[in-house]
């Protein structure tokens, strides 16, 4: 039983699993309610939920907002791994304080401030995940472009999005080379397991070196292709930017999302006042 | 259409010019193949056409290149890009956008073409991948990616398209698709097509002219038929004429100048020569003793998919591999060839069933033990270079295992693969053939008794390919069991004793080349084709199967004597 459990955990953290989760996160949720929103609407939405919570300290209001962003994140179908990293992050920031203070008999006076802090962090990071991982990077890049971000930044985002699968696959293959030819320490006993883990981490770090070189090699073609495809011309041509952004349209769906958000926020404020 | 006068080009820092005093004219509507051995300047030549040389790549250029009335030196790359499209050999890296339509219309968008999406769609249509318009790039197969790269280049409707080794990594079915698309573009849309190509069967079937380059110059440019008949000259440049032509040349003893280049033409030609009565059957080596060293038992494999249910790439797969076998695994791209190899080295775990290596379940073996017995050489050698010089790459596995005299063994391997002079170079900076040799040396460093090779001859010119074949036979005393996954049917016929045909994750057929290639149904279902010489033999002597040019020649008296 114990062996099974450790095996399944090992299976979970395999590089293949991580690769799958990253790809899922980038490409697997393009048909969700959140992904279909106009990126500009979502960015404005993020400006609200990413900033305003810092200035609030009403527990009820914060809980309401948290429920709302949690629902949005749920609708965006965030990959489990990202969710896990999120939980870990919030916990390591402030969540553990909450538990510690509960544990040592903290009363409402000590818990409330910690709870408020935890909620703030949770709302802001949950909103970030929803926007940056729920929206496909290409649309995000277009949204940023509209708000005046430099063309290069937005191109880099969508290009990263293009080569991500290639890089992941190559990285995996290089790691496999290490596994096949290297000699991992035996996994017996606690010290063996630790040594094994250290070895794995070392290999992962070492594998970046060939990955970088291989990427440098392939980028030569990419740079030439970009030149042939007129990328440099486009950067100095305002008309191209206009054409690119003309695909962004705010439709009924977006208005509905805005309306729900506004109603929810005011409802929450109302509730926090009455309670 | 294209006029080149006295073109000489020297890369910065190079002592010798790469292109030497080239003059040539290419007419509109031509379908031209450029041939020549590795490093003769073919790719450099093509880059002078689209203005990358001299505008993008620095260097010393003399002479004149005129494309459709424009002097490349005087206009910008952007203006030339609308006249001439370019598809790289590593086409994957030329696709820069995440989705198909986006990439196809990217150039049009950049050049401020108002109906850019429409242009992109039309290009996709022309390349036959319109049904993939809304997909992500990573969802495409290798062949489809190549078609997309072509569509991206064709979207600006250039009059000229240049393709650098378009079919090097493709299975024969996809290769034909590419050439059919090119043919339509050439005939229906009147485009001028220029390909760099090693596969002369395709040149014979599709191209109108052939240009031979040698040492940075142009040896000649001739109509394709005539060019392919210059057997000796081509061979000197490491180009192998079509098998039919080669056989005809030998049968005629070099006495005829007009030789057949396709099976159709061969039928008439060989009819004129007297044939032997008895067909000598191939003498088979004694079949290896049935000593099973590796066994698949009802193995199924599933990959996690990005969306929806897991994908099954292997289904209830059973296989026994005996000691001393030479096995070729064939089947179209994505049939499961690489999956099988990865399973065997424990890099993938079966979701059901088990794999036994020398009677022991692979799952219970340590990776270290496994790699002593079994070794895999990747399709892409770059992924095997994990150190900064090939010497350190070769010795790595032995060093970490404290193999005695590992330095001495490394020297031996370097010598054996003719890498001693290159030992301090980074593997990535070597030429295609050198990289392949280095990856083989790395693969056999631990003296594995089973060696797995994934596409060992892809992307190689014939000379290098021969060298790899020789190395394979050299290695007999080191590794006795070899398994190769490949699209190269000539390699299969010359080398393999047992052939596994895969299709859609299932073992379609398992047998000798006689059993496999004579089974029409299997061939059709797996999308494979026997080498040309086999078809030629069937045309003149249906009852006999020949697989290599040498076997074919036994049908004729001259050679039989």
Q: Which two tokens stand for residue A189?
A: 């006993």
| Whole-angstrom distance, CA of residue A141 vs CA of residue A164 | 15
- To the nearest whole Å, the CA of A22 is away from the closest chain B CA by 9
| Whole-angstrom distance, CA of residue B85 vs CA of residue A19 | 35
Q: Which residue of B has its CA nearest to A203?
A: B386
- A13 vs B: CB within 8 A: no
Q: Which of residues 179-198 of A touch B (CB under 8 A)?
A: 179-184, 186
Looking at every residue in chain A, the average pLDDT score rounds to 84
DSSP assignments along chain A, one per residue = -HHHHHHHHHHHTSHHHHHHHHHHHHHTTTTSTTTTS-HHHHHHHHHHHHHGGGG---HHHHHHHHHHHHHHHHHTT--HHHHHHHHHHHIIIIIHHHHHHHHTT--HHHHHHHHHHHHHHHHHHHHHHHHHHHS-HHHHHHHHHHTT--HHHHHHHHHHHHHHHHHHHHHHHHHHHHHHHS-PPP--HHHHHHHHHHHHHHHHHHHHHHHHHHHHHHHHHHHHHHHHTTHHHHHT-HHHHHHHHTT----HHHHHHHHHHHHHHHHHHHHHHH-
Mutate to test the interface with B, among A3, A158, A230 (most CBs of B within 10 A): A230
For A31-47, write each residue's pLDDT tens digit.
888 888 899 999 999 99
Give the helix/strand (H/E) hosting B8.
strand B2-10
Would you say residue B39 lies in a domain?
yes
Do residues B144 and B219 both lie within one domain? yes
Q: What is the CA radius of gyration of chain B?
A: 25
Q: Give the pLDDT confidence score for residue B558 in this predicted structure.
A: 56
Q: CA angle, B335 as apex, B331 and B338 as ends, to 5°? A: 95
Q: Give the pLDDT confidence score for residue B148 in this predicted structure.
A: 94
| Whole-angstrom distance, CA of residue A44 vs CA of residue A258 | 10
More confident: B560 or A104: A104
Q: Which two tokens stand for residue A104?
A: 């040592």
Contact B56/A240, CB-based, under 8 Å? no
Mean pLDDT of A138-153: 87
Cβ–Cβ contacts within 10 Å for residue B106, how many? 23
Q: Give the pLDDT confidence score for residue A83 in this predicted structure.
A: 84
pLDDT at A2 over 70: no
Q: Which of residues 107-136 of A touch B (CB under 8 A)?
A: 136
Do residues B79 and B135 both lie within one domain? yes
Instruction: Specify the range with the lowest mean pLDDT, choosing from A77-81, A120-124, A218-222.
Output: A77-81
Contact B81/A229, CB-based, under 8 Å? yes
Would you say residue B283 lies in a domain?
no
Kindly give the interhelix angle for B462-474 and B432-443, rounded to the nearest 10 degrees: 10
| Whole-angstrom distance, CA of residue B427 vs CA of residue B434 | 8
Would you say residue B278 lies in a domain?
no
- A166 vs B: CB within 8 A: yes
Do residues B263 and B198 both lie within one domain? no
HSE toward the beta carbon, residue A107, CA cutoff 13 A: 1
Q: Domain count of chain B?
A: 3
Would you say residue B96 lies in a domain?
yes
Q: Do B43 and B84 contact (CB within 8 A), yes or no? A: no
Do residues B230 and B300 both lie within one domain? no
Q: Give the pLDDT confidence score for residue B561 in this predicted structure.
A: 39
pLDDT at A1 over 60: no
Domain containing residue B73: CATH number: 3.40.50.300
Do residues B377 and B387 both lie within one domain? yes
Do residues B318 and B230 both lie within one domain? no
Mutate to test the interface with A, among B50, B58, B138, B164 (most CBs of A within 10 A): B138
Cα A182 to Cα A212, B124, B402, B428, B554: the distances in Å are 20, 45, 11, 20, 50
Cβ–Cβ contacts within 10 Å for residue A218, how many? 18
Do residues B222 and B239 both lie within one domain? yes
Residue in the structure block whose two tokens are 């190395």? B471
- To the nearest whole Å, the CA of B399 is away from the closest chain A CA by 9
Residues with Cβ within 8 Å of B337's Cβ and at least 6 positions away in sequence, in order, are B329, B330, B331, B454, B485, B502
Would you say residue B383 lies in a domain?
yes
Q: What is the CA radius of gyration of chain A?
A: 23
The helix/strand/coil state of B355 is: strand
Q: Give the pLDDT confidence score for residue B560 in this predicted structure.
A: 40
Would you say residue B343 lies in a domain?
yes
Q: CA angle, A165 as apex, A45 and B314 as ends, to 5°? A: 125
pTM above 0.90, yes or no: no
- To the nearest whole Å, the CA of A85 is away from the closest chain B CA by 19
- A241 vs B: CB within 8 A: no
Residues with Cβ within 8 Å of B1's Cβ and at least 6 positions away in sequence, in order, are B26, B27, B28, B30, B67, B68, B159, B160, B192
User: Which domain range does residue B468 map to?
Assistant: 292-530
Do residues B335 and B471 both lie within one domain? yes
Q: What are the pLDDT tens digits along chain B (561 aa)?
A: 899 999 999 988 888 888 999 999 999 999 999 998 877 888 889 989 988 888 888 888 999 999 988 898 888 888 888 899 999 988 889 999 888 999 999 999 988 888 999 999 999 998 888 998 988 888 888 888 999 999 999 999 899 999 998 887 778 888 888 999 999 999 999 999 999 998 898 999 999 999 999 988 999 999 999 999 999 889 888 888 899 998 898 888 877 778 898 888 888 888 888 877 655 545 455 555 678 889 999 998 888 777 767 788 888 889 999 988 889 999 887 788 888 998 888 888 888 898 998 888 988 888 888 888 899 998 888 889 998 899 999 999 999 888 888 999 999 889 888 889 888 988 888 877 788 889 988 988 888 889 999 888 776 777 777 778 887 777 777 778 899 998 888 888 888 889 999 988 888 889 888 888 888 888 888 888 888 899 888 888 888 888 888 888 888 865 443
**Residues A159, A165, A168, A172: is their CA dihedral positive or negative?**
negative
Would you say residue B454 lies in a domain?
yes
| Strand spans (E) along B382-497 | 450-454, 481-485
Do residues B490 and B549 both lie within one domain? no
Q: Give the pLDDT confidence score for residue B24 in this predicted structure.
A: 92
The helix/strand/coil state of B539 is: helix
Closest CB to A228: pick one of B50, B109, B345. B50
pLDDT at A88 over 90: no
Cα B416 to Cα A151, B411, B440, B445, B455: the distances in Å are 52, 9, 11, 12, 21
Do residues B13 and B67 both lie within one domain? yes
pLDDT at A5 over 60: no
Q: Give the pLDDT confidence score for residue B9 in this predicted structure.
A: 92
Would you say residue B361 lies in a domain?
yes
- A202 vs B: CB within 8 A: no
Closest CB to B112: pick one of A206, A231, A239. A239
Closest CB to A28: pick one of B77, B99, B306. B306
The ipTM (two decimal places) reads 0.83
Do residues B150 and B222 both lie within one domain? yes
Contact A213/B428, CB-based, under 8 Å? yes
Q: CA angle, A214 as apex, A213 and A219 as ends, to 5°? A: 95
Do residues B207 and B324 both lie within one domain? no
Chain B positions touching A181 (Cβ under 8 A) are 371, 386, 396-397, 400, 442, 445-446
């Amino acid at each position: 039983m114990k062996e099974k459990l450790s095996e399944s955990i090992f299976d979970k953290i395999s590089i293949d699993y991580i690769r799958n989760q990253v790809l899922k996160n980038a490409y697997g949720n393009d048909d969700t309610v959140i992904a279909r929103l106009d990126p500009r609407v979502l960015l404005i939405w993020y400006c609200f939920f990413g900033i305003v919570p810092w200035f609030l300290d009403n527990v009820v209001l914060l809980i309401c907002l948290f429920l709302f962003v949690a629902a949005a994140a749920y609708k965006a179908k965030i990959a489990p791994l990202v969710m896990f990293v999120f939980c870990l992050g919030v916990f390591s920031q402030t969540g553990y304080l909450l538990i510690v203070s509960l544990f040592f008999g903290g009363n409402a006076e000590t818990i409330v401030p910690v709870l408020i802090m935890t909620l703030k962090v949770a709302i802001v990071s949950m909103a970030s995940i929803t926007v940056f991982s729920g929206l496909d990077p290409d649309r995000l890049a277009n949204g940023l472009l509209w708000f005046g971000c430099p063309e290069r930044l937005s191109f880099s985002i969508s290009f990263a999005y293009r080569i991500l699968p290639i890089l992941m696959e190559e990285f995996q293959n290089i790691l496999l080379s290490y596994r096949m030819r290297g000699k991992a320490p035996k996994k017996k006993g606690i010290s063996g397991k630790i040594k094994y883990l250290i070895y794995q981490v070392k290999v992962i770090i070492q594998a970046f070196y060939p990955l970088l070189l291989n990427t440098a090699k392939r980028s030569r073609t990419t740079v030439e292709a970009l030149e042939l495809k007129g990328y440099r011309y486009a950067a100095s041509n305002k008309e191209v930017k206009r054409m690119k952004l003309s695909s962004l349209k705010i439709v009924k769906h977006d208005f509905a999302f805005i309306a729900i958000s506004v109603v929810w926020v005011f409802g929450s404020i109302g509730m926090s006042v009455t309670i | 259409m294209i006029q080149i006068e006295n073109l000489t080009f020297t890369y910065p820092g190079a002592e010798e010019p790469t292109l030497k005093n080239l003059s040539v004219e290419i007419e509109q509507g031509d379908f031209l193949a450029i041939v020549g051995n590795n490093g003769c300047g073919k790719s450099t030549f093509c880059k002078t056409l689209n203005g990358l040389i001299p505008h993008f790549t620095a260097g010393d250029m003399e002479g004149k290149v005129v494309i459709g009335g424009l002097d490349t030196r005087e206009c910008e790359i952007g203006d030339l890009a609308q006249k001439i499209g370019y598809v790289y050999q590593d086409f994957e890296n030329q696709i820069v956008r995440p989705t198909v339509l986006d990439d196809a219309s990217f150039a049009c968008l950049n050049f401020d073409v108002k109906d850019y999406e429409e242009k992109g769609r039309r290009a996709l249509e022309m390349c036959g991948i319109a049904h993939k318009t809304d997909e992500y790039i990573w969802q495409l197969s290798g062949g489809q990616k190549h078609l997309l790269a072509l569509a991206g280049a064709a979207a600006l409707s250039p009059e000229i398209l240049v393709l650098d080794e378009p079919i090097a990594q493709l299975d024969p079915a996809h290769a034909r698709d590419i050439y059919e698309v090119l043919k339509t573009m050439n005939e229906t849309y009147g485009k001028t097509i220029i390909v760099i190509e090693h596969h002369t069967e395709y040149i014979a079937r599709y191209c109108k002219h052939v240009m031979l380059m040698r040492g940075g110059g142009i040896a000649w440019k001739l109509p394709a038929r005539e060019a392919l008949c210059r057997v000796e000259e081509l061979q000197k440049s490491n180009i192998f004429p079509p098998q039919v032509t080669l056989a005809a040349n030998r049968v005629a003893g070099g006495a005829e100048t007009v030789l057949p280049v396709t099976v159709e033409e061969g039928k008439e030609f060989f009819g004129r020569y007297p044939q032997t009565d008895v067909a000598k059957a191939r003498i088979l080596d004694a079949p290896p003793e049935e000593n099973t060293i590796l066994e698949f038992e009802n193995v199924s494999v599933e990959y996690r998919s990005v969306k929806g249910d897991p994908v099954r790439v292997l289904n209830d797969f059973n296989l026994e591999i005996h000691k001393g076998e030479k096995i070729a695994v064939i089947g179209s791209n994505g049939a499961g060839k690489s999956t099988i190899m990865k399973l065997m080295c424990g890099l993938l775990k079966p979701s059901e069933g088990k794999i036994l290596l020398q009677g022991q379940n692979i799952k219970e073996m340590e990776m270290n033990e496994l790699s002593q017995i079994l070794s895999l050489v990747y399709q892409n050698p770059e992924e095997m270079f994990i150190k900064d010089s090939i010497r350190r790459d070769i010795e790595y596995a032995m060093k970490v295992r404290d193999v005695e005299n590992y330095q001495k063994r490394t020297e031996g391997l370097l010598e054996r693969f003719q890498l001693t002079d290159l030992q301090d170079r980074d593997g990535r900076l070597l030429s295609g053939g050198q990289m392949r040799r280095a990856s083989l040396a790395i693969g056999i460093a631990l003296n594995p008794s089973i060696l797995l090779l994934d596409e060992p001859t892809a992307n190689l010119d014939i000379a290098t390919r021969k060298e790899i074949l020789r190395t394979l036979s050299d290695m007999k005393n080191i590794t006795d069991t070899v398994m190769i996954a490949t699209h190269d049917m000539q390699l299969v016929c010359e080398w393999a004793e047992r052939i596994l045909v895969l299709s859609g994750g299932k073992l379609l057929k398992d047998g000798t080349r006689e059993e496999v290639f004579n089974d029409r149904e299997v061939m059709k279902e797996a999308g494979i084709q026997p080498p040309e010489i086999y078809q030629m033999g069937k045309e003149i002597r249906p009852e006999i199967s020949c697989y290599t040019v040498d076997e074919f020649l036994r049908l004729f008296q001259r050679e039989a004597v």
